[in-house]
Amino acid sequence: MRLISISFTKIISIVVTASLLSACGFHLRGDYSVPDELGSLSLTSYDQYSTLTRMMRSQLRINEVNIVPPSENVPNLHILGESLGERNLSLYQNTTAAEKELTFTASYRVTIPDIGDKTFSTSVSRSYLENPLTALAKSVERDMIEDEMRQFTTGQIIRQMARLRSDIKAGHILTKEDLDSLDEQDKESTSDVKSTE
């Protein structure tokens, strides 16, 4: 009887906790880094039907970014291009490749009306074993790795868009000198606070 009451108490406490969390509006969103000003944007690409563009569109939707048609007064995410490079990491005794490294690079530009545009680049690397005896299986594995790298790249693009918060707050695209000056101001204000304590 006591065992039933303990498990019943646990179940009740879990249900009550879940109800309280859902009632207060708490939920995992995933849009932790997209600035509010980019809540609606247009997505353009060098190839509207590429796998990267489709994955980027999906990633924006997951992060609750409203994708709208391109317009002069709407922020724009433009995928400039993507490339895939490979190099041999190790060789078999017969000089065929044993292990390869794939590097996927994507570049894109974010344009914000009345502020300007900024170009970013992101890169992802993965390695895999190359076995000439299982060529078909390795081909499928390579395709899966490439898709995984594209998916990871879309997540990196979302995270890199967080860099635009300071640009939006400043009202213009910040140069490296502007960012260095902001860092100096932060250091000075921190040292002023420490000296007053």
How would you write the pLDDT of the chain (197 residues) with one tens digit per residue? 455 566 777 788 787 777 666 655 544 444 456 888 888 999 999 999 999 999 999 999 988 889 999 988 999 999 999 999 988 888 777 777 778 889 999 999 999 888 888 899 999 999 888 876 676 667 888 889 999 999 999 999 998 887 787 777 777 776 666 666 766 776 676 555 455 55
Range of the domain at 155: 24-173
* pTM for the predicted model, two decimal places: 0.67
Whether 13 is in a domain gets the answer no
Neighbours of 35 (CB within 10 A): 18
CA distance 78 to 53: 10
Whether 32 is in a domain gets the answer yes
Whether 193 is in a domain gets the answer no
Whether 11 is in a domain gets the answer no
The count of domains in the chain is 1
Residue 100 · residue 132 · CB < 8 Å: no
* pLDDT at position 69: 93
Whether 79 is in a domain gets the answer yes
Q: What is the CA radius of gyration of the chain?
A: 24
Candidates 125, 119, 126; CA nearest to 160 is 119
Whether 138 is in a domain gets the answer yes
CA distance 46 to 59: 18
Task: Detail the DSSP E strand segments found in 16-166.
Answer: 40-45, 66-67, 76-91, 97-112, 116-129
Distances (CA, A) of 195 to 185, 188, 190, 192: 15, 10, 9, 5
Element (H, E) at 138: helix 135-160
- Where residue 81 sits, what CATH number does that domain have? 3.30.160.150
